[in-house]
């Protein structure tokens, strides 16, 4: 199931991260582990933020995705289930009774 991850993290901890010359490599390592379909970096509420779309096949994957983000960014995460058009079409053809 696809989830939209909204991560908000303080500008000061983000500033520390981007000053680290190894940050791009570390970030790439985390993203290779999480394997998001899409990643967007953006300001959120005056701080730093990231939006990601990830496929979470089972509940036990939530910790494996969340922990590296919490540890690297010291961020706050929100996970929201989302659908693509094909998912919505399938859901509308088979409504729950």
Name the more confident of 97 and 24: 24
CATH of the domain at 17: 3.30.70.260
Each residue's pLDDT tens digit, 46-83: 899 999 999 999 999 999 999 999 988 888 999 999 99
The more confident residue out of 14 and 6 is 6
Domain count, the chain: 1
pTM: predicted TM-score of the whole model, two decimal places:
0.85
Q: What is the model's pLDDT at position 12?
A: 87
**According to the 3-state scheme, what is the secondary structure of 75-91?**
CEEEEEECCCHHHHHHH
Distances (CA, A) of 57 to 1, 3, 35, 49: 6, 10, 12, 24
Structural domain including 17 reads 2-93
Alpha-carbon distance 65 to 71, whole Å? 11
């Amino acid at each position: 199931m696809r989830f939209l991850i909204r991560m908000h993290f303080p500008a000061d901890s983000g500033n520390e991260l981007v000053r680290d010359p190894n940050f791009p490599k570390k970030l790439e390592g985390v993203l290779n582990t999480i394997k998001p379909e899409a990643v967007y970096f953006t300001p959120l509420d005056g701080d730093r933020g990231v939006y990601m779309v990830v496929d979470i096949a089972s509940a036990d994957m939530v910790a494996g995705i969340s922990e590296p983000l919490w540890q690297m960014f010291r961020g706050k995460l929100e996970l929201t289930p989302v659908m693509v058009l094909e998912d919505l079409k399938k859901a509308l053809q088979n409504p729950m009774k």
